[in-house]
Amino acid sequence: METLTICPTSTATILACQQISKTFKENIYELSILRKEWDLEFATSLTVWIDDTIDKHYADNLDVLEDERYREWHEIMVEGLQHLKVLRASLKVDFKKDKAFLKEFFQTTGYTDYFSDAKNGDHISLFKFLKTFAANLNESVRQKISEKGTPDVLFDKILVCANRVSKFEDCFVALEVEAELDNYGKNEVAQIYETIQDVCRIAIAYYQFDPKMRCKFNYYKVMVNL
């Protein structure tokens, strides 16, 4: 398995976590009303934890974001989410009177489990979304949708993204499954990611009507500006 510290997904994740933790700390007095444990001490310790992890495990790999492989990964994920969003919107128009079909399709292809987190910037959820979609899409359902007006090429675009992102699977697995992490550094990254993702979920909900602040807690938006 590729070492996590040289995976572009890992480096981008830890740097995005660092930026989000700083935003969290800067706004902790406002956000502290949302969770009992959210106070200045918690925010400070989170920031220190991430900074220390970067110093220990990533000091020699921060230039990976300039690498072509990172740009390829980012491009795939952005395109994949865009195509999945367009398909969802099209389905809601074409099958608005067939709620049972929509429910079954969304459950089978991963929309139910992964769409919400994916659109809020969780790239692990988007990775799993693409893989689930590709594995569970069947030809008869695809034809039924196309006959209603959705261009069949849209499915091809999603499947291409799912296939291309497979080359980064080791990185995603290492970030998500602690049982498969083979050293303390990887375990730290997995724990940090989980903690920051929890912060993002709550902060994004709180800043529902503040687009600027929502963007600061969205992994995608933060990564784009790294």
pTM of the model: 0.63
Mean pLDDT of 184-200: 82
* 73 inside domain: no
Q: Note down the domain range covering 89.
A: 80-167
Whether residues 151 and 187 share a domain: the answer is no
| Counted domains in the chain | 2
Considering the domain architecture, whether residues 61 and 84 belong to the same structural domain is answered as no
Whether residue 177 is contained in a domain is answered as no
Residues whose CB falls within 8 Å of the CB of residue 47, separated by 6 or more in sequence, listed in order: 18, 21, 22, 25
Q: What percent of the chain has pLDDT over 70?
A: 81
What mean pLDDT value characterizes the chain? 84
Domain shared by 85 and 148, yes or no: yes
Is the pLDDT reported for residue 3 higher than 50? no
Cα(30)–Cα(213) distance, rounded to whole angstroms?
Answer: 12
One domain for residues 58 and 88: no
Same domain, 56 and 85: no
Which residues lie below 8 Å from residue 102, measured CB to CB, with a gap of 6+?
91, 92, 95
Is 175 part of any domain? no
User: Do 162 and 84 fall within a single domain?
Assistant: yes
Q: How confident is the model at residue 59 (pLDDT cuts 50, 70, 90)?
A: low
pLDDT digits (tens, 9 = 90+) for 10-49: 677 788 899 999 999 999 999 999 999 999 999 999 999 9
pLDDT by residue (tens digit) across 206-216? 999 999 999 99
